[in-house]
Amino acid sequence: MSLAAALALALAACDSGERVEYRMRPKVGVDMDGPSEFIAPDGTRVVFVDHPANAGRKPDPAAVEGNTITPRKQLDDGTVVLRNVMPQHVVGNAMECFRNEEWRIMWDQLLAPDARAAYEAPGGGGFEAFEGWCVKNRKGAMELLNRMRFDAMGSDVGMRRIGPGLTRATLAPHLWDQFGLRVVEFEQTPDGMRLRSIRANP
């Protein structure tokens, strides 16, 4: 199952017992000739629409400009705001944060709560340990995220659900020799999709 097969895991609407999500088709990082609907790993039928008024739930107006979901926005005062509705938003925002070395933005707005809590636990090292990992693994993480972003509709990235609200994207085994990091995990939270981990092995 490709990265595109888990684009949405929340904001569900049920009809006649079938779990259906009507989601606005993003215009960032998505092939517009891709499928109009798909079945998510949890069995939810996800249907893409082209205007917020047609969606089952109106998107946050602060996150939408026209018909386009805006995953990253810089305010007039320079503040960067990340909004992650789908896994490809997490991939794109993480890529940009690694490129710009924006570790505090990742910590505050991109990292899943459980992952941040693990760093904040006794012996976890806190933000400094997270920042150290990001600096040390910056090149490898960017290579992995870049491959996942450009192969979102292909067969080199496998996506599967691993628990409630948890999804894992893994590079195909034939690519493992080329990448030190091969796995990205996403977590659906009340505040949107978040980055749970980037690591070498499933």
Which pLDDT tens digit goes with each residue over 122-155? 999 999 999 999 999 999 999 999 998 876 556 7
Torsion angle of C-alpha atoms 186, 106, 28, 83, degrees rounded to 10: 80
Q: Which helix (H) or strand (E) holds 96?
A: helix 87-100
pLDDT in tens, 18-57: 455 656 555 443 444 444 555 555 556 566 555 444 344 4
* Beta strands at 45-49 and 18-24: parallel, antiparallel or unpaired: parallel
- Tell me what the mean pLDDT of segment 88-99 comes to: 94
Distance between CA atoms of residues 145 and 106, nearest Å:
14
User: Tokens 């693990």 appear where?
Assistant: 118
Domain ranges of the chain: 3-199
pTM over 0.85: no
Count the neighbouring beta carbons within 10 Å of the beta carbon of residue 139.
11
